[in-house]
Structure 1
Amino acid sequence: MYGIHQKTTAAKVFIFITQIIYLILAFFILYRDATLDNYIRYTIIIFLLITFLRLNAMLFIWLPRGISWKESIGNSLAFAIYYIGFPLFTVYSQADSNIAMYVIGIVLFLAGSFINTTSELLRKPFKADPANKGKLYRGGLFKYAIHINYYGDILWVAGFALVTINVWALLVPLFLFLMFVFSYIPNADKYLLEKYGSQFEDYQKHTKRLIPFIW
């Protein structure tokens, strides 16, 4: 997951192509159900397109490191949960339209997308500057949490789940949260500690791990 510095264009293109396939399937699922409220359908489509743009901007613009084929295949399978899973949750929802759930979902999706994208955008110039080689980035939104980008992921995925108006969809952000807490964050912390040593130790002492002001 970390430390791959050579270009891995083929692996990234594979992820891109799978997302295109997922989008086509998602459109088919959403338009096959004629009883689905149009405002829900259009919201899901807009969220899918925003997700597509953000994920691929991260993949080709904001993520300078290479990725392994294992990570490429793993990410492609995980993305199916967003592109295919949420449309399926939407069309198979047994609940009546819930405006409060819908509005909260939109707010969380936009907030999470902003936090995730902005944190990466602010960090990129620092990482691209040769003068900062060997220095740990602690600025921007990362001063509020070590893994603020993961926090943004949890928010936008939770928002996406809510606009499906299907409570079972909330299992997706719950699973993502557990994955971050018990797998991604420990592995990332281990890598950062090995790479930055005392810089990261000091960062840990003064900064929350995932949720600003809480944990």
Structure 2
Amino acid sequence: MKLYGQYHNSLPQKTLITIIEILLLRISFWILFQNGGDWLAHTFSIHNATEQTGRRMVIFIFNIVTFGRLGYMMFVLLKRKIPWQESISIPFAFALYYVGFSLLVLPTAKALDFLDFGAVILFIVGSILNTGGEIMRDKWKKKPENKGRLYTGGFFRYARHINYFGDLLWVIGYAIISGNYYAVIIPVILFCFFAFYNAPLLDQYLKNKYGKAYERYANKTKMLIPFLY
């Protein structure tokens, strides 16, 4: 968590991340709508449900929205330094979404239904919690009277890491739209990473930075899932 105290625009790293993500989006499009799906089906002996394009369109729209959100947060909201190794690891993680869910949806022939409508709602709510929460925090932090103070307002009054909870929701939305039972592995892995590694590590950093103020906040606010955990 030493990086949280280092401020830098990291423009070369952010540019590299953006280029890699654009390439991942191109691969996703090739898999979903061009001959990539047929090539993968032939190479790995899987069914390619070309008769069902609705789910594929939703998956790709999710990809575009996620790419746009990440770009805005990275270029506008993110103030800390991004090391070069992170400029590789971030796109690798998002490859699970852009490419992973594109692969998982290939054999799904079932048409979109009411459950998938719920998945779209989850994706929207999760995106709002994640990006919207960061936007509200950024506006609050820019006010001179809030310099050096702990932010506990907005969505963060419901969970200390509500942005991570938002990530879980929109990834679950992806998994449901894919219509593939194996897709559940991705949000489960993400939950374990947040719950048992990233959130506790960030908690310790914030406790060291804000002291008693963060302890009081932590005592009355759940870590990851509002009102539950």
With the shorter chain as reference, the TM-score category is: over 0.9
Q: Is the 8 A contact 1:4 1:67 kept in 2?
A: no
Q: Which structure would you say has the larger Rg?
A: 2
Gaps in structure 2 of 5+ consecutive residues: 38-48
Residue 105 (structure 2) pairs with residue 103 (structure 1):
no
**CA RMSD of superposed structures (Å):** 1.5
Q: Is the 8 A contact 1:97 1:165 kept in 2?
A: no
Residue 182 (structure 2) pairs with residue 180 (structure 1):
no
Counterpart in the other structure of 2:151: 137
Separation (CA, whole Å) in 1 of partners of 2:51 and 2:169: 25
Separation (CA, whole Å) in 1 of partners of 2:151 and 2:87: 26
- Residues matched between the structures, number: 214
Per the normalisation by structure 2, the TM-score is: 0.89
Please tell me the residue identity of whatever aligns with 2:178: T
Residue 53 (structure 2) pairs with residue 29 (structure 1):
no
Please tell me the residue identity of whatever aligns with 1:193: K
Deviation at 1:97, TM superposition (A): 3.7
Q: Is the 8 A contact 1:151 1:211 kept in 2?
A: yes
Counterpart in the other structure of 2:107: 92
Gaps in structure 1 of 5+ consecutive residues: none
2:227 partner SS: coil
Q: Is the 8 A contact 2:140 2:146 kept in 1?
A: yes
Residue 56 (structure 2) pairs with residue 41 (structure 1):
yes
Q: 1:58 aligns with which of 73, 77, 86?
A: 73
Deviation at 1:57, TM superposition (A): 0.7
Deviation at 1:96, TM superposition (A): 3.3
Q: Would the alpha carbon gap of residues 166 and 101 (structure 1) be closer, same or farther in structure 2, given more than 3 Å must change? A: farther
40-49 vs 153-162, which deviates more? 40-49
Please tell me the residue identity of whatever aligns with 1:61: V
Q: Would the alpha carbon gap of residues 143 and 39 (structure 1) be closer, same or farther in structure 2, given more than 3 Å must change? A: same
Please tell me the residue identity of whatever aligns with 1:144: Y
Please tell me the residue identity of whatever aligns with 1:192: L
Matched-pair identity in % = 43
Q: Is the 8 A contact 1:98 1:165 kept in 2?
A: no
Separation (CA, whole Å) in 1 of partners of 2:107 and 2:56: 13
1:91 partner SS: coil
C-alpha distance after superposition, 1:21-44 (max 9, x if no partner): 000000000013471412112111
Per the normalisation by structure 1, the TM-score is: 0.94
Deviation at 1:214, TM superposition (A): 1.1
Deviation at 1:103, TM superposition (A): 2.0
Q: Which of structure 1's runs of 4+ aligned residues deviate more than 4 A?
A: none
C-alpha distance after superposition, 1:6-56 (max 9, x if no partner): 221111111111100000000000013471412112111211111110111
Separation (CA, whole Å) in 2 of partners of 1:196 and 1:203: 10
Deviation at 1:98, TM superposition (A): 5.8
Counterpart in the other structure of 2:92: 77
Q: Is the 8 A contact 1:4 1:68 kept in 2?
A: no
Deviation at 1:104, TM superposition (A): 2.3
